[in-house]
């Protein structure tokens, strides 16, 4: 006795008899089989472990101005993340002002994570250098990049398998380092002492009044005293006019002041408050309703860490901002491009010298902080000519 032939279709619970195949037709049967296989494949994909077929990413931390910023890189492990960190930012990211303080010569030996401690073994180049801020920054990049991956809660830095002692000033690296340790201020916030008033200057009050009329000095500071506010205003005027930048109200500066016109915005913008940062003149223009309210001398990014030109907006106002990578206070901070901000600083030379931020003196930083509003446009211009 011949046994009946039963046809089994994946995804179809009941077998199909030969008689049924004749009714359905071979072509329809094949179509049914294909649909069943597709349904099976989809079901397998739905129950597959998360991430088994999808590309995963890790966050790698670089610097922008005085703060850390993250970018996504392919990978899933702490080792993947450290390798991407050592590779550095892309050309596009560099154009956006992102920088790394990890030496290009540094190589990764190994990464292991046990009981929440990531042991990161690198070559000696990673720990070499005299600049304490650079050393602080690269360590902060590493700890931020590794923390959280594979359950890492702290990072123990090793150099060629050995414990690191005394190579990072002010930071104990002989035991695991946490994010909280790096993010906790370790120095008191302090305002730099303003310069002392200088001796009498002929025609000082008249010059102050002219500086105030032009937007370089606040009217209330035209008091006949050659103090810090006047010296700051003179420096701003010298920068605007292309004179020697010494902050001294000498004959050349007074002669230029006598025939000067009030500065105008370089670009036209919307009504309300906005700011222009002029990289060539090293000044910032505080503008309201398309009129320059005040001209402020600044120091923008050094050639190795330039302030990227472009259009931005103020996204916060922070009276006391802590720079985790450089472990220093940034007072009266007005950030407008990730870690790049207007802020007070103890050293504001008349030339570009910052990590990308717009440094200001104590004489102007609080005023700019009060003038700024969240959402205020900030345009950074390479040239003002």
Residue 30 has a pLDDT of 52
Residue 192 has a pLDDT of 65
Which of 1 and 231 is assigned the larger pLDDT?
Answer: 231
Q: Is the pLDDT confidence value at 51 over 80?
A: no
Decide which of 2.60.40.1930, 2.40.440.10, 3.90.180.10, 1.10.10.10 is the CATH code for 201-385. 2.40.440.10
Residue 334 has a pLDDT of 98
Residue 21 has a pLDDT of 42
Distance of alpha carbon 330 from alpha carbon 236, whole angstroms: 22
Residue 43 has a pLDDT of 42
Residue 22 binned pLDDT confidence (cut-offs 50, 70, 90): very low
Residue 189 has a pLDDT of 86
In this structure, what are the phi and psi dihedrals at residue 292, rounded to the nearest 5 degrees? -70, 120
Query: Which pTM does this prediction carry?
Result: 0.81
Residue 2 has a pLDDT of 41
Q: Is the pLDDT confidence value at 68 over 90?
A: yes
The Cβ of residue 307 has, within 10 Å, a number of other Cβ atoms equal to 24
Residue 202 has a pLDDT of 80
Return the HEC string of the chain.
Answer: CCCCCCECCCCCCCCECHHHHHHHCHHHHHHHHHHHHHHHHHHHHHHCCCCCCCCCEEEEEEEECCEEEEEEEECCCHHHHHHHHHHCCCHHHHHCCEECCCCCCCCEEEEEEECCEEEEEECHHHHCCCCHHHHHHHHHHHHHHHCCHHHCCEEEEEECCEECCCCCCCCCCCCCECHHHHHCCCCCCCCCCCCCCCCCCCCHHHHHHHHHHHCCCCHHHCCCCCCHHHHHHHHHHHHHHCCCCCCCCCHHHHHHHHCCCCCCCCCCCCCCEEEEEECCCCEEEEEECCEEEEEEECECECCCCCCCCEEEECCCCEEEEEECCCCEEEEEEEEEECCEEEEECCCCCCCCCECCCEEECHHHHHHHHHHCCCCCEEEEECCCC
Residue 54 has a pLDDT of 53
Residue 359 binned pLDDT confidence (cut-offs 50, 70, 90): very high
Residue 275 has a pLDDT of 98
Q: Partners of 121 in the beta sheet?
A: 110, 158
Q: Where are the domains of the chain?
A: 1-47, 57-183, 201-385
User: If you average pLDDT over every residue of the chain, what do you get?
Assistant: 88
Q: Is the pLDDT confidence value at 206 over 50?
A: yes
Distance of alpha carbon 302 from alpha carbon 38, whole angstroms: 59
The tokens describing 169, both together, are: 């000033």
Residue 48 binned pLDDT confidence (cut-offs 50, 70, 90): very low
Burial letters 337-376, b for 16+ CB under 10 A, else e: bbbbbbbbbeebebebbbbbbbbbbbbbbebbbebbeeeb
Q: What is the mean pLDDT of residues 103-121?
A: 97
Cα-based angle 316, 277, 96 (whole degrees, multiple of 5):
70
Q: What is the mean pLDDT of residues 304-327?
A: 96
Residue 203 has a pLDDT of 85
Q: For the ranges 14-28, 187-201, 327-341, which has the lowest average pLDDT?
A: 14-28
Residue 198 has a pLDDT of 63
Residue 197 has a pLDDT of 61
């Amino acid at each position: 006795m011949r046994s009946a032939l039963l046809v089994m279709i994946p995804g179809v619970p009941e077998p199909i008899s030969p008689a049924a195949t004749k009714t359905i037709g071979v072509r329809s049967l094949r179509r049914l089989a294909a649909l069943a296989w597709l349904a099976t494949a989809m079901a397998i994909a739905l129950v597959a472990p998360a991430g088994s077929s999808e590309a995963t990413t890790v966050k790698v931390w670089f610097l922008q101005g005085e703060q850390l910023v993250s970018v996504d890189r392919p990978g899933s492990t702490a080792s993947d993340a450290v390798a991407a960190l050592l590779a550095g930012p892309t050309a596009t990211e560099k154009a956006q002002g992102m920088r790394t303080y990890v030496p290009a010569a540094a190589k990764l030996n190994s990464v292991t994570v046990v009981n929440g401690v990531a042991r990161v073994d690198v070559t000696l180049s990673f720990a070499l250098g005299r600049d304490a801020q650079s050393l602080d920054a690269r360590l902060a990049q590493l700890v931020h990049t590794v923390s959280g991956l594979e359950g890492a809660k702290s990072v123990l830095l090793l150099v060629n398998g050995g414990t690191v002692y005394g190579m990072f000033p002010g930071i104990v690296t002989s035991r695991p380092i946490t994010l909280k340790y790096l993010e906790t201020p370790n120095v008191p916030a302090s305002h730099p002492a303003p310069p002392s008033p200088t001796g009498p200057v002929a025609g000082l009050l008249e010059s102050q009044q002219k500086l105030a009329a032009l937007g370089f000095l606040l009217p209330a500071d035209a008091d006949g005293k050659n103090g810090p506010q006047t010296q700051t205003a003179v420096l701003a005027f010298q920068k605007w006019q292309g004179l020697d930048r010494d902050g001294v109200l000498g004959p050349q500066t007074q002669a230029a002041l006598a025939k000067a016109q009030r500065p105008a915005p370089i670009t036209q913008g919307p009504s309300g408050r906005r700011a222009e940062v002029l990289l060539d003149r090293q000044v910032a223009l505080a503008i309201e309703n398309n009129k320059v309210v005040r001209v402020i001398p600044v120091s923008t990014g050094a050639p190795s860490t330039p302030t990227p030109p472009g259009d931005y907006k103020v996204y916060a106002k922070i009276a006391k901002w802590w720079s985790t990578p450089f472990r220093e206070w940034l007072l009266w901070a007005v950030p407008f491009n990730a870690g790049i901000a207007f802020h007070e600083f103890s050293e504001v030379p008349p030339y570009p010298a910052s990590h990308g931020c717009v440094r200001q003196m104590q004489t102007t930083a609080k005023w700019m902080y009060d003038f700024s509003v969240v959402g205020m446009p900030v345009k950074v211009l390479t040239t003002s000519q």
